[in-house]
Amino acid sequence: MLSGKLAVITGSNSGIGLGIAKVLAKQGADIVINSFSDTSDDYAIATDIASEFNVNARYISADMSDAAQCRALIAQAGEVDILVNNAGIQHVAPIEEFPIDTWNAIIAINMSSAFHTSAVAVDGMRKRGWGRIVNIASAHGLTASPYKSAYVTAKHGIVGLSKTVALETAEDPITCNAICPGYVLTPLVEAQIPDTMEQYGMDRETVVRDVLLQRQPSRQFATTEQIGGTTAFLCSPAADQITGTTISVDGGWTAL
Ligand code: NAD
């Protein structure tokens, strides 16, 4: 369904981004895998996707905390039809202890990177007459939790950016939407469990059950495949008139 399309997924050597890359490749899209680490494992991920799904896939290293590198990623990728802004980091701390550098990094990687990549990608999408921008926001783009000031701010910001880009491209065959996942068990979530244990004075099992999944009425983690499937749906003809909105994949979190 997506053969002939080129998809760039930022932050895709792990977790949700890798899951999205595999689902889009399964549908025939050519893939650009991105991270900032530039290791042989990163290049191997692209090689494996190319051989498993019989598509073109390559790895481009670019640090999404750096405006110039965000822009260069899109320029280097070529004719980008599908842009998935997924790169993200997290830090859990009370606001009065929140490190300033970490605040700046989260705002840059989780929010401003999508401004830079979209600003470069939209022009080519307009010229070629088709484009899909999918921003991976979060349930924290619609609601808040304590101790996540930078993350909640960035995710609310990317929801606003999605609406604005959607309006600016509304008369073109381009859509821009945000997916708002609840908890997905990826390295990003694994990494915040110890901090949350400390903040709440709980053991791991209690944090998972009573803090993470307490907000998720299904009491199940969403999966990377489900976020990939939602991204593929937004790239399908059924979603041609879906733009400037959010789709929650959160087990009912935002219905509460
Ligand atoms: P992850 O840690 O598995 O993946 C994060 C990805 O971002 C990695 O590929 C990493 O290489 C990349 N990345 C980090 N800093 C980067 C930088 N400076 N430049 C380029 N790439 C960088 O985490 P994940 O859970 O898969 O998260 C992916 C996205 O989904 C994030 O935006 C996150 O906020 C969002 N999200 C995750 C969950 C969840 O429960 N896991 C829920 C809602 C939203």
- Tens of pLDDT, residue by residue over 156-171, are 999 999 999 999 999 9
CB atoms under 10 Å from CB of 97, counted, come to 7
Average of per-residue pLDDT values in the chain: 97
Residue 104 in this model has a pLDDT that exceeds 90: yes
- Residue 131: name the closest of 142, 123, 140 by CA: 123
pLDDT value of position 135: 99
If pLDDT is split at 50, 70 and 90, which confidence band does 101 have?
Answer: very high
144 phi and psi angles, rounded to 5 deg: -125, 165
Task: Give the sheet arrangement for strand 174-181, strand by strand.
Answer: 57-61, 30-35, 6-9, 82-85, 131-136, 174-181, 246-249
pLDDT at 13: 98
What confidence tens digit (pLDDT) does each residue in 195-216 have?
889 989 999 999 999 988 998 9
Cα-to-centroid distance, 88 and ligand 1 (Å): 4
- The SS3 of residue 140 is helix
User: What pLDDT sits at residue 195?
Assistant: 86
Nearest to 238 by CA among 246, 230, 227: 230
Give the Å distance between the CA of 196 and the centre of ligand 1: 18
With 90 as the cut, is the pLDDT of residue 23 above it?
yes
CB of 27 within 8 A of CB of 229? no
Residue in 43, 59, 147, 151 annotated catalytic:
151
pLDDT number for residue 192: 81
Class level of CATH domain 6-184+222-249: alpha beta
Q: How far is the CA of 127 from the centre of ligand 1 (A)?
A: 30
Cβ–ligand 1 distance for 14 under 6 Å, the answer yes
Place of tokens 């209690």: 206
Q: Predicted confidence band at 188 (pLDDT cuts at 50, 70, 90)?
A: confident
CB of 63 closer than 6 A to ligand 1?
yes
In this structure, the number of other CB atoms found within 10 A of the CB of residue 178 comes to 28
Q: Active site includes 151?
A: yes
Contact 233, 245 (CB under 8 A): no
Sorted by where each begins, the domain ranges of the chain are 6-184+222-249, 185-220
- What pTM was computed for the model? 0.96
Does residue 16 line the site of ligand 1, with CB under 6 A? yes
pLDDT in tens, 239-248: 999 999 999 9
| Ligand 1 contacts CB of residue 189 (under 6 A) | yes
